[in-house]
Amino acid sequence: MQRQSANKRPRANPLTNPKVVPYVFVAPFVIYFLLVYLYPTIATIMMSFQRIDGPTQVEFIGFKNYERLFSRNYVQALQTTARYAFWDVVVLTSVPLLVAVLLHSKLVMFASFFKSLFFIPALTSIIVAGIVFRLAFGTLPTAPVNRLMTLLGQEPRDWLMYAGTGNLVLIVLTLWRWMGVNIIYYLSGIQAISPELYEAAEIDGAGAVSKFFHVTLPGIRPVLIYVITITVLGGFSMFTESVALWQQNNPGGVGRTIVGYMYLMGFYKSNMGMASAVGLTLLVLVLGVNLIQLTLMGFFRKER
């Protein structure tokens, strides 16, 4: 009996098997990806070819949703989104970069204080920020911005009633909210650059501008690509800021973006098929713009 018990081997725990453990750790991500990303994407593609009048009234209609897609409201939302995304990328990549360079230099005192000050808006609720900006850029002559315009000798304006000025308010709101985050990104890249490169550039007689273009920009290239990529994505997917500024008072759809139009079609007009088609066109548009941007910045170029 003792020999038999001695010959018995304990059963191996599959969770301690080196071949099984990696799959156990990867399983939560795979399950999350399948349920949250892959399944909704496949369902959206299928819904874009259907007319959905209710949970049980589903009819396959082919490409009719895409044929009806390019209406006046859709084109206007697309123009608003493209205009906003363009200026969003221009402003949110250039201004934070210049501020980060100044904060990293020895020209600014209390740099840590200013870093915290710029980052605080990112912690603020976007709904609260939108309400504050809507009141600041109000239509009344007593609104803070209109009062400032009056002091400067200018006429008060209805900022949120026209596409040009409304887009300006959106850009200001976005810059105020996300500039601190991009400054942190840029500072992390600038601080990773070896000080010896700046010293060598100074020995060669390079000035501040020359060091910026020949040392700083090449050194933060990966960070710059990342910031531009997420800014493009944020520009085309902007929705909350527009809702917070205009709410239900959106004259002529001047502040309606592609995501806002998709929300309008899906939840207000109960046309989930059309909303799915809008979402897929937005997906293709964002992928195309990001691929072009990454190609132009040499992301796919092999380093020699």
111-119 vs 72-104: helix crossing angle, rounded to 10: 160
178 Cβ contact partners less than 8 Å away, ≥ 6 residues apart: 92, 121, 122, 234
Q: What is the pLDDT of residues 160-211, one digit of tens each?
A: 888 888 888 888 998 898 999 999 999 999 999 888 888 888 888 888 888 8
How many angstroms separate the most distant Cα atoms in the chain?
105
Predicted model pTM: 0.81
* Rounded to 5°, angle at Cα 244 from 226 and 273: 75
Q: Which domains are assigned to the chain?
A: 11-65 (no CATH), 71-296 (1.10.3720.10)
DSSP string across 32-91: HHIIIIIHHHHHHHHHTTEEESSSS-EEE-TTHHHHTT--HHHHHHHHHHHHHHHHHHHH
Q: What is the pLDDT of residues 204-245, one digit of tens each?
A: 888 888 888 888 998 999 899 999 999 998 889 888 888 888
Q: Which amino acid appears at position 123 of this protein?
A: L
Check residue 140 and give its pLDDT: 83
Q: What percent of the chain has pLDDT over 90?
A: 17
- The rounded average pLDDT for each run of 10 residues, N- to C-terminus, in the chain (304 residues) is 53 70 87 91 90 76 85 86 90 92 84 87 87 87 88 86 85 90 92 88 84 89 91 88 78 81 85 89 89 81 59
Check residue 71 and give its pLDDT: 82
